[in-house]
Amino acid sequence: MPFDLAVSVNVFLNHRAIIMDYSYESEQTKFMREFLEKNPQVQEKRLAARSIWWDKSLDKNQQKHFKESTVPHKPYAYFGAQSDD
């Protein structure tokens, strides 16, 4: 196969691989979509659980206190104590 033809075929195949079928829906996605449509309370519970861990208001004074109270790490922490022998 001539080089130009091989490059053309390779470019064509690579171009074809980029084209996606956006109408495709996996079985997992379909299951989750249908499950959430049938059970809207799950979405409400999910949001409530998320707020326990993630949706927090930050206290600027407390953050400042934490930042000021940190102890700087010594360099070469993983090599142990250096001896003067």
- Burial pattern 42-64, b for ≥16 Cβ within 10 A else e, equals eeeeeeeeeeeeeeeeeeeeeee
The pTM is what?
0.40
The residues, any chain, with a CB within 8 Å of residue 35's CB and separated by 6 or more, are 42
What letter would DSSP give residue 77?
G
Q: Quote the pLDDT of residue 29.
A: 95
CA nearest neighbour of 46 among 37, 38, 34, 36: 36
Q: For every one of its 85 residues, what pLDDT tens digit does the chain have, with 9 covering 90 and above?
A: 454 544 444 555 555 556 777 889 999 999 999 999 999 999 999 988 888 888 788 889 999 998 888 888 777 767 666 555 4
pLDDT at position 70: 85
What confidence score (pLDDT) does residue 36 get?
Answer: 93
Handedness of CA 48, 54, 57, 61 (dihedral sign): positive
